[in-house]
Amino acid sequence: MTEAATALKTTPLHALHVELGARMVPFAGYDMPVQYPLGILKEHQHTREKAGLFDVSHMGQVRLTGVDPAAALETLVPGDIKGLAQGRMRYTLFLNEQGGILDDLMVTNAGDHLFLVVNAACKEQDVAHLREKLAGKAEVELLDDLALMALQGPMAAEVMARFVPEAATMKFMSYLSATFKGVPVILTRSGYTGEDGYEISCDKADAEMIARALLGESEVEAIGLGARDSLRLEAGLCLYGHDIDTTTTPVEGALEWTLPKRRRAEGGFPGYDIIHRQLTEGAARRRVGIQPEGRQPAREHTEIQDANGTVIGEITSGGFGPTAGAPVAMGYVDIANSAVGTSLTLVVRGKPLPARVAATPFVPQRYYRG
Amino acid sequence: MTKKFTKDHEWVQVDGDVATVGVTDFAQSQLGDVVFVELPDAGRVLEKGKEAAVVESVKAASDVYAPVSGTVVEANQALVDDPSMVNSAAETEGWFFKLQLKDASELDGLMDEAAYKAFVEESH
């Protein structure tokens, strides 16, 4: 191994990935499985058809406690956290003073605390940000003794019910404290594939037992980061650092649905002035789905031109969608060219590739709403 | 017929003065599932070591270089229609294009099968 490789962190499932024949790559400072012997295409299709198990232990799990952690967190994010009922979860964004996105995260009301899941590459800075801004208002604990897995796909519920019967009736974006083969787990009915499924938070020491139990079910295959990316792209979900970052606002990022009425009216979160103005007057550019014609994928940083050949933006995520059976992408275009159906030209390897603005998701989401 | 290999993981098989070119089985295993190929049109003049074709997997796009100089006489249309043949038959039906050789002596600088096998084992 090279020096760089030895410096990488590992998850509690690392030995299992290697045993399963995974191809390991560096990702956000961790040595992670990009694919298993099945390959990205089949792993993707398997998740859409049956169930896939993902190791996402590199992500940050954070506990927020205090007198009123919801009120405290609302000073940093535009979501309705005070109105989040116990046992429910919500997607929101850490914003900077310019309305740019510092990270995206899931927030769960776990009763006596808020449970946050943040991106691996941002977790150290998110924790520092929380500790600095919420000093005296909330206690911030990075739960680095926990592992996180995701079980995703149309058969995820059936499989999970064999171990945790009460998981079957959980609604999309809800939380459950449960027992899996005698060990404590936190389940949320959520994920990053557009499919029904769960994220499973557990003690590091129990992760391999749980993973082996789930992989022992005939419907379940181990799925790597490669298929995780193609699944989320087809589902129209943003990848932080690519589709959204500190230079994009929630309005530019087409994430207005994360800005509820009360917060739009009251403000009280970073970048409110800019975001309020963009909500009223519109933003100059917008994130859209993009469907290239033909079969050639258009990758990240591909230049986008309008019908006159003027550069109007670039692709931020792009690849081949195995379920869509076609290349799929998303990127930013000027607002004049952001309507679904607008013809665009992508410059791929110096050649023009016709494309159009497309509605997302590229494949229907299949969440369980009870 | 001689079959030679490049350090960029192309193979070239020579029959008379026509060379058939593709990517190696090792290359396809590294690329992963191939979803698109772009092949040179017949009549295009290729220069040894320069870009000749594009192969895209679910993961990434890669260039395929001309192992030798020459003029394209045929591209593999079946591969354009079914790019997954790169994975299933990299060194047989999954060939990319055929070239009319410009200078057969260029083949001398390429590796034979044993040398290529050693190269792959050594570098990966």
Q: What is the pLDDT of residues A68-81, one digit of tens each?
A: 999 999 999 999 99
Partner residue opposite A296 with nearest CB, options B33, B56, B60: B56
- The model's pLDDT over A135-191, given as tens digits with 9 standing for 90+, comes to 999 999 999 999 999 999 999 999 999 999 999 999 999 999 999 999 999 999 999
**Helix, coil or strand: residue A112:** coil
Residue B17 lies in a domain: yes
Are the beta carbons of B32 and A40 separated by less than 8 Å? yes
Q: How far is CA A42 from the centre of its chain?
A: 21
* pLDDT at residue A5 is higher than 60: no
A8: exposed, middle or buried (Cβ count in 10 Å: 0-12, 13-18, 19+): middle
Which stretches of chain A sit within 8 Å of chain B by CB? Answer: 34-35, 39-42, 44, 226, 230, 295-297, 299, 319-320, 322, 327, 349
Question: How many independent structural domains does chain B possess?
Answer: 1
Task: pLDDT band for A315, please (50, 70, 90 cuts).
Answer: very high
Q: What is the DSSP letter of A79?
A: S
Residue B119 lies in a domain: no
Instruction: Return d(Cα A344, Cα A292) in angstroms, integer.
Output: 9
ipTM reported for the complex, 2 dp? 0.84
* pLDDT at residue A2 is higher than 80: no
* pLDDT at residue B124 is higher than 80: no
* pLDDT at residue B59 is higher than 70: yes
Phi-psi region of A359 (alpha: psi -120 to 50; beta: other; left: phi over 0): beta
Residue in chain B lying closest to A296 (CA): B36
Are the beta carbons of A295 and B61 separated by less than 8 Å? no
* pLDDT at residue A1 is higher than 50: no
Overall fold of domain A1-235: Gyrase A; domain 2 (3.30.1360)
Residue B91 sits in a domain whose CATH number is: 2.40.50.100
Overall fold of domain A256-358: Elongation Factor Tu (Ef-tu); domain 3 (2.40.30)
Q: What is the pLDDT of residue A3?
A: 47
Task: pLDDT band for A319, please (50, 70, 90 cuts).
Answer: very high
- The model's pLDDT over B19-40, given as tens digits with 9 standing for 90+, comes to 999 999 999 999 999 999 999 9
**Helix, coil or strand: residue B85:** helix
- The model's pLDDT over A239-252, given as tens digits with 9 standing for 90+, comes to 999 999 999 999 99
Q: What are the structural domain ranges in chain A?
A: 1-235, 256-358
Q: Percent of chain A beyond pLDDT 70? A: 98
Q: How far is CA B19 from CA A144, A212, A276, B3, B101, in A?
A: 57, 50, 64, 9, 7
The range of the structural domain enclosing residue B77 comes to 2-103
- Contact, A167 vs A156, CB < 8 A? no
Arithmetic mean of pLDDT, A187-206:
98
Nearest to A198 by CA among A162, A153, A165, A166: A153
Q: What is the pLDDT of residue A369?
A: 86
Residue B97 lies in a domain: yes
